[in-house]
Amino acid sequence: MEFRKHPERTGQFILSAPIIYAMIVPLVFADLCLEFYHRLCFPLYGIPLVNRGKYIRIDRHKLSYLTPLEKFNCVYCGYANGFLNYATNIAGDTEKYWCAIKHEQRDGFHNPEHHKSFVEYNDKKTFEKKFQAK
């Protein structure tokens, strides 16, 4: 909670609050759309559903030493960050199913963890061998 070290920035915090809290609208909309896709399409593709509970944790609001505003912010962050991690996992599982080819290597790009089993970029021989229709 770095913000506690900067009481001189309270005005800036207050000014930024509407921007931060307004992000709940697109997050919830994205969550609804993603869940619709996930629950409908994954079973059609034979991809196991991702366990939402492993990503979204809302528990820090129970801590007695936090102020009511800090507890509210912890609920918000638990949901927002958990949802984004959950969405990343669903996107990764989708990418594994539909693509599974690594990106071209460029400075500064970090391949996600799920790319480890992907075919190297521009490796036609391995691609054709690995993804030959049965």
Q: Helices 68-98 and 24-45 sit at what angle, rounded to 10 degrees?
A: 30
Specify whether the CB–CB gap between 79 and 21 falls below 8 A. no
Please give the structure tokens belonging to residue 42.
């994954």
Instruction: Please report which confidence band the pLDDT of residue 4 belongs to, taking 50, 70 and 90 as the band edges.
Output: confident
Q: Which residue segment(s) compose the domain that 33 sits in?
A: 24-130
Is pLDDT above 80 for 65? Answer: yes
Q: What is the pLDDT of residues 12-63, one digit of tens each?
A: 888 999 999 999 999 999 999 999 999 999 999 999 999 999 999 999 999 9
**Alpha-carbon separation of residue 17 from 23, 29, 116, 119 (angstroms):** 10, 20, 39, 44
Residue 8 lies in a domain: no
Instruction: Please report which confidence band the pLDDT of residue 133 belongs to, taking 50, 70 and 90 as the band edges.
Output: confident
Residue 18 lies in a domain: no
Instruction: Please report which confidence band the pLDDT of residue 8 belongs to, taking 50, 70 and 90 as the band edges.
Output: confident
Residue 59 lies in a domain: yes
Residue 13 lies in a domain: no
Dist. CA 43–CA 60, nearest whole Å:
33
Is pLDDT above 80 for 1? Answer: no
Residue 33 lies in a domain: yes
pLDDT (0 to 100) of residue 111: 86
Task: For residues 3-11, give the mean pLDDT.
Answer: 82
Q: Between 77 and 1, name the one with better pLDDT.
A: 77
Is pLDDT above 90 for 5? Answer: no
Quote the mean pLDDT of the chain.
93
Residue identified by tokens 């199913």 is: 97
Q: What is the tally of structural domains in the chain?
A: 1
